């Protein structure tokens, strides 16, 4: 009976040991395993069993992209301006073995490397260039860090300058400069607006004068055209009358009658003197006699 209890205890201990040494590596993770203190292997995602008292999980790593926000670092520009710059580094572990054994405290190593690289780059730039060249500085730091950390099993994906803080007096000077620049631009915009307004008003007056002159000219043209058309109609009517008269082959009596009508109209005029050609005098005499007879009451 005691032997059975001992056997049961041994079996239970073996089962517990096996269960405790069963390891499941999650997705996007890796375990670095050592055997008797030396690197044995890197476990990827899945089911694994380690040998008790012989194998040891030296490090559990996440293979996801990681973000590290480093505190502000003092840097000096080429024109001797001291400012505070903090950086954000995005990286991922590409080789768990190199990350585990390549460098002591990898995050601290990345922070120090970022600070020294940043000082070297900013030291070659003046203040204005530093404030306007964020993208260039980011790219330079990323390239240098990526090359340096490749031996540590790290891939630097991106580097961003989070804040650039110049000294207080320089910030005040920059704010005054920006305010003056904004006021200058506002005055320029106001002057340009006034100029455009005056130009538009002048163009409006010009167009109005042109339209008025065009209207007067058009009225005169139409008036002249109307008079010309009236004269043409009168001439045409006279020509038509002569044509009809010629086509009718009038007799001498009809012509004499027409002559009498003409002299009647002349006699009704306001002229005091009438000059008649010699060849028309007989006709004129007859016309005058007829008029006197018509105006004499006793003739009735």
Handedness of CA 98, 102, 108, 110 (dihedral sign): negative
87 lies in the same domain as 158: yes
Average pLDDT over residues 251-267: 56
Give me the residue label for tokens 């000096």: 76
How high is the mean pLDDT of the chain?
Answer: 81
Mind listing the pLDDT tens digit for each residue in 288-297?
554 454 555 5
Domain contains 138: yes
List the domain range (segments joined by +) for residue 7: 2-62
Look up residue 290 and give its two tokens. Answer: 């007829």
Instruction: Output the pLDDT for position 287.
Output: 47
What letter does residue 299 receive in the DSSP assignment?
G
User: Would you state the pLDDT for residue 116?
Assistant: 92
Tell the residue number behind the tokens 């209890």, with chain if given: 5
Q: How confident is the model at residue 254 (pLDDT cuts 50, 70, 90)?
A: low
Of 59, 54, 53, 57, the closest CA to residue 23 belongs to: 57
Among 4-18, 96-110, 138-152, where is mean pLDDT lowest? Answer: 4-18
pLDDT average, residue stretch 264-283: 52
For the packed helices 252-267 and 281-295, what is the interaxial angle rounded to 10 degrees?
Answer: 60
Residue 245 sits in the same domain as residue 257: no
110, with CB counted inside 10 A (0-12, 13-18, 19+), is: buried
Neighbours of 72 (CB within 10 A): 15
Question: How many structural domains compose the chain?
Answer: 4
Q: Do 125 and 182 belong to one domain?
A: no
| Residues 78-96 pLDDT 10s | 888 888 999 999 999 999 9
Which is more confidently placed, 218 or 172? 218
Query: For the whole prediction, is pTM greater than 0.85?
Result: no
Does residue 51 have a pLDDT over 90? Answer: no
In this structure, what token pair is assigned to residue 130? Answer: 């530093």
- Reported as a pLDDT band with limits 50, 70 and 90, residue 62 is very high
Scan for tokens 């008029």, then name that residue: 291
CA distances from 43 to 28, 51, 52, 64, 128 (A): 11, 14, 16, 16, 50
- The band of 154, judged by pLDDT with boundaries at 50, 70 and 90, is very high
How many other CB atoms are found less than 10 A from the CB of residue 129? Answer: 15
Tell me, yes or no, whether 241 and 259 share the same domain: no
Give the pLDDT score at 39.
92
The domain boundary residue, chosen from 136, 166, 196:
166
Instruction: In whole angstroms, give the CA distance from residue 39 to residue 60.
Output: 14
Judge if 223 and 265 occupy the same domain. Answer: no
State whether 233 and 256 are in the same domain: no
The size of the chain, in residues, is 300
Domain contains 283: yes
Q: Quick check: 141 and 157 in contact, CB under 8 A?
A: no
Per-residue pLDDT at 82 = 87
Domain shared by 162 and 70, yes or no: yes
Say how far apart CA 163 and CA 87 lie, in whole Å: 7
CB 93 within 8 A of CB 61: yes
Q: Indicate the pLDDT class of residue 42, thresholds 50, 70 and 90.
A: very high
Residue at 151 is within a domain: yes
Q: How far apart are CA 229 and CA 248, in angstroms?
A: 28
Task: Compute how many other C-beta atoms are within 10 angstroms of the C-beta atom of residue 89.
Answer: 24
pLDDT band at 242 (very low <50, low <70, confident <90, very high): low
Tell me, yes or no, whether 217 lies in a domain. Answer: yes
Assess whether 126 and 39 both reside in one domain.
Answer: no
Q: Can you give the pLDDT at residue 299?
A: 43
What gap in Å lies between CA 137 and CA 122, rounded to an integer? 8
In degrees and rounded to multiples of 5, residue 273 shows phi and psi of: -130, 140
Q: Averaging pLDDT over each range in 60-64, 186-190, 240-244, which range is the top one?
A: 60-64
pLDDT at 300 over 50: no
Evaluate whether residue 130 is within a structural domain.
Answer: yes
Where residue 115 sits, what CATH number does that domain have? 3.30.479.30
Checking if the pLDDT of 14 tops 70, the result is yes
Report for 28-32, 126-130, 171-175, 227-231: range of highest mean pLDDT? 28-32
Q: For residue 169, is pLDDT > 90?
A: no
């Amino acid at each position: 009976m005691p032997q059975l209890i001992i056997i049961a205890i041994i079996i239970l201990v073996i089962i517990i040991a096996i269960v405790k040494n069963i390891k499941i590596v999650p997705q996007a993770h890796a375990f670095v395993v050592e055997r008797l203190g030396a690197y044995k292997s890197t476990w990827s995602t899945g089911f694994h069993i380690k040998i008790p008292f012989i194998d040891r999980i030296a490090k559990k790593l996440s293979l996801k992209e990681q973000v590290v926000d480093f505190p502000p670092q003092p840097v000096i520009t080429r024109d001797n301006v001291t400012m505070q710059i903090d950086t954000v580094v995005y990286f991922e572990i590409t080789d768990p073995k190199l990350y585990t054994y390549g460098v002591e405290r990898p995050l601290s190593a990345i922070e120090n490397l970022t600070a020294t690289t940043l000082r070297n780059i900013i030291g070659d730039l003046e203040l204005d260039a530093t404030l306007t060249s964020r993208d260039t500085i980011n790219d330079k730091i990323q390239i240098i860090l990526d090359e340096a950390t490749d031996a540590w099993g790290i891939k630097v994906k991106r580097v961003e300058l989070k804040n650039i803080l110049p000294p207080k007096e320089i910030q005040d000077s920059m704010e005054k400069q920006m305010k003056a620049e904004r006021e200058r631009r506002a005055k320029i915009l106001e002057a340009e607006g006034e100029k455009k307004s005056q130009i538009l008003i002048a163009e409006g007056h010009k167009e109005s004068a042109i339209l008025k002159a065009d209207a007067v000219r058009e009225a005169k043209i139409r008036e002249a055209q109307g008079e010309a058309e009236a004269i043409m109609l009168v001439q045409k009517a006279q020509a038509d009358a002569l044509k009809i008269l010629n086509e009718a082959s009038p007799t001498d009596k009809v012509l004499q009658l027409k002559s009498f009508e003409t002299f009647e109209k002349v006699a009704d005029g306001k002229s005091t003197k009438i000059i008649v050609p010699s060849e028309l005098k007989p006709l004129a005499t007859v016309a005058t006699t007829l008029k006197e007879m018509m105006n004499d009451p006793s003739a009735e």
